[in-house]
Amino acid sequence: MNAEDYFQLPPSLIAFAELFRSDSYPWDWIRQVQPALALERFIPKRTTIPDSFQIHGFAYFHPSVSFPAFGCLNGPAWLGEGVVLEPGVLIKGNVIIGAGCTVGAGAILENCLLLENVRVSPRALIADSVLGNGTFIGVGASVIAQRMAATRFPETGVLGVSSLEALGSVLGDNVEIGHHALITPGSVLKPHTRVQDGAVFSAPLPH
C-alpha cells in the first residue's frame, strides 16, 4: 500500500513534498510531521491575533488564517491559507493544516496532518493521524490512539516497555466520520468511506 492509494498531497502543502512522498507507506506521513516542521522554518506573516488567543513556540500561519477570540496553539505548527480556527481550539504541537480547513470549537489536535478542505467539528479529538483532502470529522468524534512498544531487556531478560509509539489512523480523501464516532488504533479508511454516527470503527493495521 502506498500513500497515493489514500490521498494526494495538495498544492498548499507542496513545500513538504520531499517528505510526504506519494510512493511511501502512508504511516510514514505521520512520522514525517515533526521532521517537516523542523526542516521548514517559515517566517510567519503579520496578521491580527486576538490578545486572548495564546501562541507558544514556533508557528507559521498564512495571513488569511482566522483566529478565534480565545484558544491555544502550542508549536511547532503550520497553518495554510484560509484556515479557520473556532473558539476554544487547542493545538498541542506537531500539527500541519492545509488550505481551507476548519477546526471546530473545543477541538484538540496533536501530531497530525490535515490536508486541504478538512472539516473538524466541535469537540473532536485528532492525534497521530493523517486526514485526507475533504475529510469530515463529526462532533465529538475521536481519531486517536497510542501503542506501547514492548521489548526484552538483554541485561535482565525481563519484558518491559522501552518506548511509546503513537499510532492513530490513516483517513483517505473525502472520508466522513459521524458524530461521536470512535476510530480505533491502526485503522485505515479508504477514500469516500463513511462511518456512521456513534459507531466504533476498527480495522487492522495493514502489513
Flag whether pLDDT at 170 surpasses 80.
yes
Q: What share of the chain is helix, strand, coil (3-state, %, to 5)?
A: 10, 35, 55
pLDDT digits (tens, 9 = 90+) for 47-81: 778 989 999 998 998 999 999 999 999 989 999 99
Give the alpha-carbon dihedral of 36, 40, 44, 49, to 10 degrees: 10
pLDDT digits (tens, 9 = 90+) for 95-127: 999 999 999 999 999 999 999 999 999 999 999
- Can you give the pLDDT at residue 166? 61
Asked if the bond preceding 185 is cis, omega within 30° of 0, the reply is no
Quote the cell numbers at residue 54: 495564546
The winner for highest mean pLDDT among 47-51, 162-166, 203-207 is 47-51
- Can you give the pLDDT at residue 148? 47
Flag whether pLDDT at 150 surpasses 60.
no
Calpha distance 133→8 (Å, rounded): 8
Amino acid at the residue 171: L
Mean pLDDT of the region 114-141: 97
Rama region for 8: left / alpha / beta (φ>0; ψ in -120 to 50; rest): beta
Domain range summary for the chain, segments of one domain joined by +: 3-201
pTM of the predicted structure, to 2 decimals? 0.88
What fold is seen in the domain 3-201? UDP N-Acetylglucosamine Acyltransferase; domain 1 (2.160.10)
